[in-house]
Structure 1
Amino acid sequence: MHATKKAVCWRLFLCSCLLLESSSQDFGGQTQFICTSVPKDMDICAATLQNSVPGEDLKTTVMQLRETVLQQKETIMNQKETIRELTSKLARCESQSGAEPGDARPGGRRKDAGTKNTMGDVSRGPADTLTQLSQTLQSLKQRLENLEQFSRSNNSVQANSLKDLLQSKIDDLEKQVLSRVNSIEEGKPGLRNETEQRGRVESTLTTLHQRITDLEKGQRENRPLDKFQLTFPLRTNYMYAKVKKSLPEMYALTVCMWLKSNASPGVGTPFSYAVPGQANELVLIEWGNNPMEILINDKVAKLPFLINDGKWHHICVTWTTRDGVWEAFQDGVKRGSGENLAPYHPIKPQGLLILGQEQDTLGGGFDATQAFVGDLANFHIWDRKLSVGEIYNLATCSSKAQVGNVFAWMETSLDIYGGASKWTFEACRQLN
């Protein structure tokens, strides 16, 4: 017998018993159960109806139960249809949201990691590529002018010949770049895709940068290894310097450097130190219209520095893990202090220290809008808090000034990428 039919019959049987029990109360309150034999092939429900005492009431009950069952079936069908519609809508929403690009995280420093692109945003069209390459060429021409000034100041025939050679190379490269970008814009056959073409242009630029570096060696053959500055002339996502060794675990630190910039808004990121699992382990950044900030383990302290006036400034930041106490010095003078900056969190080892770019992933995820623009020199790190007197000696080029015991400013300690250049620099001359 069908399950629903069985359930109806059982309910009918129970109703019969209850009615009999109710009727029996008129005869002294005693309950009686009446059992009636039913032929083997006879419908139990029909037999129950036949033998029940209050037949009309039971018929009404059966009709009500059947109506209830039909209503429940109809409700279940409606609910199933609603579930199917909601499931279909959810699937469409998921497919649409999956196709949308990830949003940048607040502050611009924590966006989703993507594949590093050494020539800029891969979503840019040929016109944007031409603009980017033109800026790079301007950087190279600026370096050529610097070489020319060097030749005039030293009255060197060799420097003049190097200058002529460099001018010729830049002219040739400019023609090649313009020709190749025009080919991209016109969609000429023979080029597989824009990505391949950009790779060729980048390779050409890298070769030229290497040639310029070789030419510049003539200027620095006789200078000390620490008498140099790094120049980042453009706000890009491919110009940077990488420190060859990592930092040790530190419970206190002092970071000092010379900076020169007139970039606006914000000078960018002079340095960033990332470790596995934490891209903002130690970062100095001035981005957008925000003041300069020091980040330790992604915790932030605002620094009272004003340096984007196109002049050289000496800045130092000290920090200790106990209570997260920090101090900020500009040009040898204490400008601000605070506490509770990543308290009791030691700076982690085995990371990567980058000059000129902010890391959103370990060694990558550079954003051109956060890149440093300007000159940087005499970058030093200590694993202790320097005294006020020691910092003043550094800012005034005192003979008692020390070098960093964790990282000391040396040409041999850095690898340079993307066209950032090195020039002779002596801090004491800048002060005179």
Structure 2
Amino acid sequence: MQHNTHGEMQTFKKAISWKLLILSYLFVEGSCQDFGGGQTQFICTSVPKDMDICAATLQNSMPGEDLKTTVMQLRETVLQQKETIMNQKETIRELTSKLTRCEGQSAPEPGPGGRRKETGIKNTMGDVSRGPSDTLAQLSQTLQSLKQRLENLEQFSRNNNSVQANSLKDLLQSKIDDLEKQVLSRVNSIEDDKPGLRNETEQRGRVESTLTSLHQRITDLEKGQKENRPLDKFQLTFPLRTNYMYAKVKKSLPEMYAFTVCMWLKSNASPGVGTPFSYAVPGQANELVLIEWGNNPMEILINDKVAKLPFIINDGKWHHICVTWTTRDGVWEAFQDGVMRGSGENLAPYHPIKPQGVLILGQEQDTLGGGFDATQAFVGDLANFHIWDRKLSIGEIYNLATCSSKAQIGNVFSWLESSIDIYGGASKWTFEACRQLN
């Protein structure tokens, strides 16, 4: 049994040897081409153990000078291919880097949710997450607002036979028409060529600058209306949800251990009407804030403490609202249209409202006097904003809501045009609360 096995092994080894020999011939024939152009021949030649078969065959079949030239050519070809590969790798790395930067610019990471907004570069046309199409839509809304104001001015000029008002109106109308053409042109360019968005920020800045100029010219034109109305018979209008429309009260609030805040509001914004007012002091942006943000109910914030208010006002109608508060036990009451809708306690108890702050109408402050977030901006109309440093009685609040002759004005802040500066396109219009109720 062992003898037969040994014989089989010898036969197997011989077969392997013949196969290796045949493969060697094939290798020589396939790798070592006939450089002389003649017919290929198989030659059995003894080769040293450590010598390359291909090199040995070339050495036997070609003159030394031709062999050297061929080797140099092959070496040069290899070097050229290697250089080409390196250049291609460098090009691929460069293109990959550019693609990564483009993707990073076109798809910013979303910020975290919640009332507070992360610090960063803000989009001057609104929310930082807005895309070009949203921005252009917002510009179109702004232009519509300007056109509406011009129509009101046209009616005013007809009633007053004002030649100057007519000439300014025509000039502003012409500029608005030019802006509309710019917006339409921009929309078409975006539809035709999506990659051409890199100049969006630059063009948006130019358009916003033009709009600011138009707003200022219209505001100057509207001054003619103010001469014929009392200083307290006006309303503020915030037509768009932006982070640049707001009004600022010229003076700060004193230290208060109790207060009543009342105002008229009209809005149909959804979700949430935004922030009718916010008062910030150094070190505390949420010293006193009224806000209805997202799908949350309206809230009153005092020193960052929150109470939910049972107001429903986003129906496009005028509503009178009041909130009272005392530092003792943090007791609060909420009134809508002269009727108490809710009350509670433990809202920032024994914390007096601090002085030396900034009072803003229409925006929520993340920093003292700034840090506005478009998603929290008030959209609608606001009028007769008053503040008292005491808790008004139910009867006093009812008189305010029903335009009674016994209604009082705020002793801390009273509603006067001379007490407010407006920015970013917010506008002032004649308003009489009692007329709205009839």
Cα distance in 2, alignment partners of residues 3 and 356 from structure 1: 100
1:195 to 197, 201, 205: 201
Residues 32, 54 of structure 2: 8 Å contact kept: no
Q: Which moved more, 1:120-129 or 1:48-57?
A: 48-57
Distance 1:14 1:79, change over 3 A: farther
Cα distance in 1, alignment partners of residues 317 and 421 from structure 2: 26
1:424 Cα deviation from its structure 2 partner: 0.3
Cα distance in 1, alignment partners of residues 258 and 39 from structure 2: 92
Q: Which moved more, 1:45-54 or 1:392-401?
A: 45-54
Q: Which moved more, 1:344-353 or 1:359-368?
A: 359-368
1:255 Cα deviation from its structure 2 partner: 0.3
For each residue in 1:340-393, what CA deviation from the matched residue of structure 2 results, as whole angstroms up to 9, or x when unmatched?
A: 001011111121111111112222222222211111000011111111221122
Residues 49, 59 of structure 1: 8 Å contact kept: no
Cα distance in 1, alignment partners of residues 207 and 63 from structure 2: 99
1:199 Cα deviation from its structure 2 partner: 2.4
Q: Which moved more, 1:1-10 or 1:219-228?
A: 1-10
| Match of residue 346 from structure 1 | 352
Q: Which moved more, 1:1-10 or 1:202-211?
A: 1-10
Cα distance in 1, alignment partners of residues 194 and 72 from structure 2: 82
Distance 1:286 1:100, change over 3 A: closer
Residues 270, 357 of structure 1: 8 Å contact kept: yes
Distance 1:157 1:8, change over 3 A: same
Distance 1:6 1:304, change over 3 A: farther
1:246 Cα deviation from its structure 2 partner: 1.4
Residues 12, 58 of structure 1: 8 Å contact kept: no
Distance 1:91 1:21, change over 3 A: closer
The root-mean-square deviation of aligned C-alpha atoms, in Å, is 15.1
Cα distance in 2, alignment partners of residues 31 and 328 from structure 1: 106
1:47 aligns with 2:56: yes
Structure 2: tracts of 5 or more residues without a match: 1-8
Residues 320, 338 of structure 2: 8 Å contact kept: yes
Q: Which moved more, 1:240-249 or 1:117-126?
A: 117-126
Residues 126, 241 of structure 2: 8 Å contact kept: no
For each residue in 1:11-61, what CA deviation from the matched residue of structure 2 results, as whole angstroms up to 9, or x when unmatched?
A: 999999999999999999999999999999999999999999999999999
Residues 31, 54 of structure 2: 8 Å contact kept: no
Distance 1:79 1:167, change over 3 A: closer
Cα distance in 1, alignment partners of residues 105 and 305 from structure 2: 35
Distance 1:347 1:18, change over 3 A: farther
For each residue in 1:313-356, what CA deviation from the matched residue of structure 2 results, as whole angstroms up to 9, or x when unmatched?
A: 11110000000000111111212111000101111112111111
| Match of residue 37 from structure 1 | 46
1:402 Cα deviation from its structure 2 partner: 1.5
Q: Which moved more, 1:181-190 or 1:372-381?
A: 181-190
For each residue in 1:247-274, what CA deviation from the matched residue of structure 2 results, as whole angstroms up to 9, or x when unmatched?
A: 1111100000001111222211111111
Distance 1:233 1:96, change over 3 A: closer
Q: Which moved more, 1:170-179 or 1:237-246?
A: 170-179
Residues 248, 422 of structure 2: 8 Å contact kept: yes
Secondary structure, counterpart of 2:411 in structure 1: coil
Residues 206, 418 of structure 1: 8 Å contact kept: yes
Cα distance in 1, alignment partners of residues 79 and 127 from structure 2: 63
Distance 1:174 1:25, change over 3 A: closer
1:169 Cα deviation from its structure 2 partner: 2.7
Secondary structure, counterpart of 1:74 in structure 2: helix
1:111 Cα deviation from its structure 2 partner: 2.4
Distance 1:312 1:81, change over 3 A: closer
Residues 127, 374 of structure 2: 8 Å contact kept: no
1:62 Cα deviation from its structure 2 partner: 64
Secondary structure, counterpart of 1:169 in structure 2: helix
1:120 Cα deviation from its structure 2 partner: 2.4
Cα distance in 2, alignment partners of residues 398 and 373 from structure 1: 28
Q: Which moved more, 1:415-424 or 1:75-84?
A: 75-84
Distance 1:377 1:62, change over 3 A: same
For each residue in 1:73-126, what CA deviation from the matched residue of structure 2 results, as whole angstroms up to 9, or x when unmatched?
A: 999999999999999999999999999775xxx873222233444322455443
Q: TM-score, normalised by structure 1?
A: 0.70
Secondary structure, counterpart of 2:428 in structure 1: strand
Distance 1:98 1:15, change over 3 A: same
Cα distance in 1, alignment partners of residues 219 and 191 from structure 2: 32
State, as a whole percentage, how many aligned pairs show the same letter. Answer: 91
Distance 1:213 1:29, change over 3 A: closer
Secondary structure, counterpart of 1:108 in structure 2: coil
Cα distance in 2, alignment partners of residues 369 and 19 from structure 1: 75
Cα distance in 2, alignment partners of residues 351 and 304 from structure 1: 28
For each residue in 1:113-169, what CA deviation from the matched residue of structure 2 results, as whole angstroms up to 9, or x when unmatched?
A: 334443224554433332221121122122223334545666777655554343223
Cα distance in 1, alignment partners of residues 40 and 352 from structure 2: 84
1:429 Cα deviation from its structure 2 partner: 1.1
Residues 172, 214 of structure 2: 8 Å contact kept: no
| Match of residue 4 from structure 2 | none
| Match of residue 18 from structure 1 | 26
Cα distance in 2, alignment partners of residues 26 and 175 from structure 1: 75
2:72 to 54, 63, 67: 63
| Match of residue 314 from structure 1 | 320
Residues 38, 44 of structure 1: 8 Å contact kept: yes
Q: Which moved more, 1:176-185 or 1:22-31?
A: 22-31
Distance 1:80 1:403, change over 3 A: same
Q: Which moved more, 1:246-255 or 1:390-399?
A: 390-399
Residues 276, 351 of structure 1: 8 Å contact kept: yes
Distance 1:87 1:164, change over 3 A: closer
Cα distance in 2, alignment partners of residues 3 and 278 from structure 1: 96
Aligned length: 429
Residues 298, 310 of structure 2: 8 Å contact kept: yes
1:296 Cα deviation from its structure 2 partner: 0.7
Distance 1:87 1:31, change over 3 A: closer
